[in-house]
Structure 1
């Protein structure tokens, strides 16, 4: 019961993050008009989100390893709220560079907050990691869906960026309070009796393995085929498929809703058929490829093309697979010479290493798509050509997944043995703490 409550609070903790992250996407055209931005300058609001993390992710992962997941949750949820306050001021007073600085700080806080949450969850419930991570990553996407509805509505009613940005700030404050309650419950009902091992955790104990590198590339490519596309999804559906700006925002929410609703099912499949994980990884990457294949080959339309919704349904299922299959598969590639609690704790450092790779991609892909869009000025269907970028990324992921983790069964067996040892020999494991 306590574990379920902690998962629920972790989801609420991510609501403010997911809602505030996508506010620029929902207000893309108003922001471009009020700040007089090009497509590339607008996409910089997303690239700047990732740039600082290229160097900070690994340091943040090590810091959370040493200070603890609870410390990470408190520090970076507070930092998230403060950065959104900075962004709101920038939007209210039309200070573009203030918004950029706020987005950069927001990106640092968001990335490290995820690591802190994953560490707390992985330590408490390693036996159902696929389901737990799937819920924590996808259910808050409903907040992103709410943003696509509510932010344009608030702007339309007030003709100001102030209220949409301040509402995002209020959700960040609510998330911070949820994080405080999560920390309290995790401390009070800590089944491991202490949070950190006596033995110092350092990067030197983590060695890169071929399965880890390959899974890092796969997860990065799939995330790059999902997040940067949705950053411009409103404009994509407006220009390619004939929806109005308001209607496009509502249509885009389909992907978020499908991801949230399908995640518990896919998470259960991931946990039940972990011995077939190689097949599940291939299917996950194929789903991303098929979603962009639909978006690429659907004809351009000046009237609403509701058939394009099927691509969003596929994309939503793809993200549920990313959260419930690809991310747990990545964590299972952490070196298997770590047993018991140490086996779980070093995953934060692993996520930090992954963060470097992801943030390089997340910083460059939005700028690349903005450059292509600007370069093709005058073309009738230039958004279709922009989607080639995401199609190629997903295609490379499919190729990598065909031979992904040939020794995955060995890692899964070692992981299960470590968990079994953790539960069957509590006294011996407690000596590690």
Structure 2
């Protein structure tokens, strides 16, 4: 029969490409200055979105402070009830920031988590403004609580994004710029809301309507931040595909028990953070009366002096971040910030030097410490634990601010400003001791936090070269595999096999000479097939 002894020719095919060619093509297309995630213009575009992400949150955080007189008069509340607008934000975040960081690392991921927390910020401000419309102070308090759920967690997500995009490049400058934009949001809020409230008297004759309209402006900025969160997530997802970040991940996920094994250097960073920040924000909150009493300043002049900390930090933070990036030695910069703040509080307490000088020094010191301290977290914990680590840092900071704010008010009422300044000086001494211990511990572990900038740049370059080489190797293997023929598992049967199969189905026994033929070694070797 024809074809009985013809050799079988294996059927060959090409493997499906699984869109590998499209991925490689998209990577090559992304090599333009704006579209390539590894190029500076694209990364700075992402930085702009990160700054926009937090602007709305920081703008609305101090809405009560900018409208303190208006809120107390329109809503008919005293100072103690007014401070609930801040208490309902700070106290819950002692726990919520830790939970938010864990959710970012383990459950939602940074992209979905950022959008969810931005929604909470928008929703909280909407409820806050509607409370003014409804003339219900309880609704306004509920709005501040909802806003607090998203506010601090959004800061955690922002820090995690910053490390993901700039860990090896300009990380200190980036944190400085984020701090600058945060303070810019607070400054804009302080300067525009009260004039807007007064300027809309003819349009909205009812005071509660004017108050509500003014608060709805904050909703507008929150919506802008929400849009930035969505766009940031889309661009980050695209960058992850192009740069193949998922392939570089270890596959590890955060476990709540990992907190117990955080290195000592990280807990020292947390300690420095809380001991330092409680000497700045509570003092600024109580500073206006201090300047009015000691230097006999008017309310306007005292407010100008008191706001210098935020104004100076908004201007100086990016430049100081560049300086830290250029030199390295983060621990040394942190200790310098603590020492200069210690000097600023000492001058305010025991001298009559112009407070413009001392508050400007405090603003510079605050910027130095913030630019150098927050990036150090990324140097001591792996990427899959970053959200949790920043969440713990925010939680401890909120706990310290809540407790010290209460203590500061008690000390001020009982003993006055001099003893309050001594209290702040003692806390700063504790922060300095923690900074020195961190320096010695880091030196004993190989100076991971206090490396000079040129060493970090060299290590980052080696890491980038190794990752690029690995990516090229993987792409070459995929290209070879995608063009390599393979044998199909489905092969056509010969005429001999088809005939024997038919005979077996109709019940005819195979002849003895065919059986011996089938069992012969020549058949098995393929000679007689």
- 2:175 pairs, out of 130, 133, 142, with 133
Q: 1:395 pairs with 417, 422, 429, which one?
A: 429
Structure 1 regions of 5+ residues with no counterpart? 300-304, 335-342
* Residue 192 of structure 2 is aligned to residue 150 of structure 1: yes
1:45 aligns with 2:85: yes
Q: Number of matched residues?
A: 411
Farther-moved stretch of structure 1 (411-420 vs 288-297): 411-420
State the Cα RMSD in Å: 3.1
Per the alignment, residue 50 of structure 2 pairs with 10
Gaps of 5+ in 2: 1-40, 202-206, 475-529
Which structure has the bigger radius of gyration?
Answer: 2
Q: Offset of 1:144 from its aligned partner?
A: 1.0
1:414-433 residue pairs with structure 2 within 5 A?
419=460, 422-426=463-467
Q: 1:259 Cα shift?
A: 0.7
1:255 aligns with 2:342: no
Greater mean alpha carbon deviation, residues 2-11 or residues 45-54: 45-54
| Distance change (3 Å), C-alpha of 1:47 and 1:285 | farther
Q: Which has the higher contact order (CA 8 A, sep 6+)?
A: 1
Equivalent in the alignment of 1:184: 234
Alignment check: 8 A CA contact 1:50 1:108 kept: no
CA contact (8 A) 2:163 2:375 kept: no
Cα deviation digits, residues 10-53 of structure 1 (max 9, x gap): 11221111111112222334434445555444433323212112
TM (norm. structure 1) is 0.83
Alpha carbons of structure 1 residues 8 and 427: separation in structure 2 relative to 1, 3 Å: closer
Distance in structure 2 (CA, Å) of the matches to 1:178 and 1:397: 36
Within 5 A, what are the aligned runs for 1:147-226? 147-157=189-199, 158=201, 160-190=210-240, 192-194=243-245, 198-206=251-259, 207-226=261-280
Once residues 55 and 286 of structure 2 are traced to their aligned partners in structure 1, the CA distance between those partners, rounded to angstroms, is: 20
The CA distance in 2 between the partners of 1:226 and 1:272, in whole Å, is 27
Task: Tell me the alpha carbon deviations over residues 164-209 of structure 1, each in whole angstroms, 9 at most, x when there is no partner.
Answer: 3222222112222222222232223335435676333323345222
Whole-Å Cα distance in 1 between the matches of residues 426 and 63 of structure 2?
27
Contact 1:10 1:178 in 2 (8 A): yes
| TM-score calculated relative to the size of structure 2 | 0.69
User: Is the aligned partner of 1:357 residue 2:396?
Assistant: yes
Give 1:224 shift: 1.8
Q: Distance in 2 between matches of 1:243 and 1:102?
A: 36
Contact 2:305–2:356 at 8 Å: present in 1 too?
yes
Q: 1:40/1:144 Cα in 2 relative to 1: closer, same or farther (>3 Å)?
A: same
Q: Distance in 2 between matches of 1:3 and 1:249?
A: 38
How has the CA–CA distance of structure 1 residues 55 and 217 changed in structure 2, closer, same or farther, with 3 Å as cutoff? same
Between the aligned partners of 1:94 and 1:291, the Cα distance in structure 2 is 43
